Amino acid sequence: MTEYRIGADFAQQLDDTDPLAAFRDRFHIPQTKDGRDALYFCGNSLGLQPKQTESAVLQELEDWKNLGVHGHLAAKNPWLPYHEFLTEHLAAIVGAKPVETVAANSLTVNLHLLMVSFYRPTKTRYKIIIETGAFPSDRYAAVSQIRFHDFDPEEALIELMPRDGEKTLRTGDILETIDREGDAVALVLLGGVQYYTGQCFDMEAITKAAHGKGCIAGFDLAHAAGNMVLKLHDWNVDFACWCSYKYLNAGPGSIGGFFVHERHAENTALPRFCGWWGHDKDTRFQMGPDFKPIRGAEGWQLSNPPILSLAAVKSALEVFAAAGGMRPLREKSVKLTGYLAFLLDALDTEAFEMMTPRDPAQRGCQISLTVKGGGGKAVFEKLESSGIVCDWREPDCIRLAPVPLYNRYRDVYHFVRIFAEALGLDDKMREVV
Ligand X SMILES: *Cc1c(COP(=O)(O)O)cnc(C)c1O
Q: For binding to ligand X (CB under 6 A), which residues are involved? A: 106-108, 135, 137-138, 191, 195, 220, 222-223, 243
For ligand X, the closer CB: 223 or 272: 223
For ligand X, the closer CB: 194 or 339: 194
Question: Cβ of residue 265: shortest distance to ligand X, in angstroms?
Answer: 25
For ligand X, the closer CB: 138 or 298: 138
For ligand X, the closer CB: 119 or 195: 195
Confirm if 242 and 138 have CB atoms less than 8 A apart.
no
The length of the chain, given as a count of residues: 433
For ligand X, the closer CB: 137 or 267: 137
Q: How far apart are CA 301 and CA 192, in angstroms?
A: 23
Strand partners, 42: 401
For ligand X, the closer CB: 201 or 352: 201
Question: Cβ of residue 90: shortest distance to ligand X, in angstroms?
Answer: 16
Confirm if 265 and 296 have CB atoms less than 8 A apart.
yes
Question: Cβ of residue 136: shortest distance to ligand X, in angstroms?
Answer: 8
Confirm if 142 and 220 have CB atoms less than 8 A apart.
no
Minimal CA–CA distance to 224: which of 254, 238, 244? Answer: 244
Question: Cβ of residue 135: shortest distance to ligand X, in angstroms?
Answer: 3
For ligand X, the closer CB: 113 or 343: 113
Angstrom distances, CA of residue 72 to CA of 230, 299, 315: 33, 20, 19
For ligand X, the closer CB: 403 or 416: 403
For ligand X, the closer CB: 192 or 404: 192
Question: Cβ of residue 244: shortest distance to ligand X, in angstroms?
Answer: 9
Question: Cβ of residue 195: shortest distance to ligand X, in angstroms?
Answer: 4
Residue 79, C-beta contacts closer than 8 angstroms, at least 6 positions apart: 60, 71, 72, 304, 307
221 DSSP assignment: -
SS3 of 230, please?
coil
Residue 189, C-beta contacts closer than 8 angstroms, at least 6 positions apart: 115, 128, 129, 130, 138, 142, 218, 219, 220
Angstrom distances, CA of residue 204 to CA of 180, 234, 337: 19, 8, 23
SS3 of 92, please?
helix
Report angle CA 7, 12, 14 to the nearest 5 degrees: 100
Longest dimension (CA), the chain: 75
Task: Write the Ramachandran bin of 375: left for phi over 0, alpha for psi from -120 to 50, otherwise beta.
Answer: alpha
For ligand X, the closer CB: 91 or 107: 107
Question: Cβ of residue 108: shortest distance to ligand X, in angstroms?
Answer: 3
Question: Cβ of residue 215: shortest distance to ligand X, in angstroms?
Answer: 20
Q: How far apart are CA 119 and CA 130, in angstroms?
A: 13
Question: Cβ of residue 166: shortest distance to ligand X, in angstroms?
Answer: 21
Question: Cβ of residue 410: shortest distance to ligand X, in angstroms?
Answer: 28
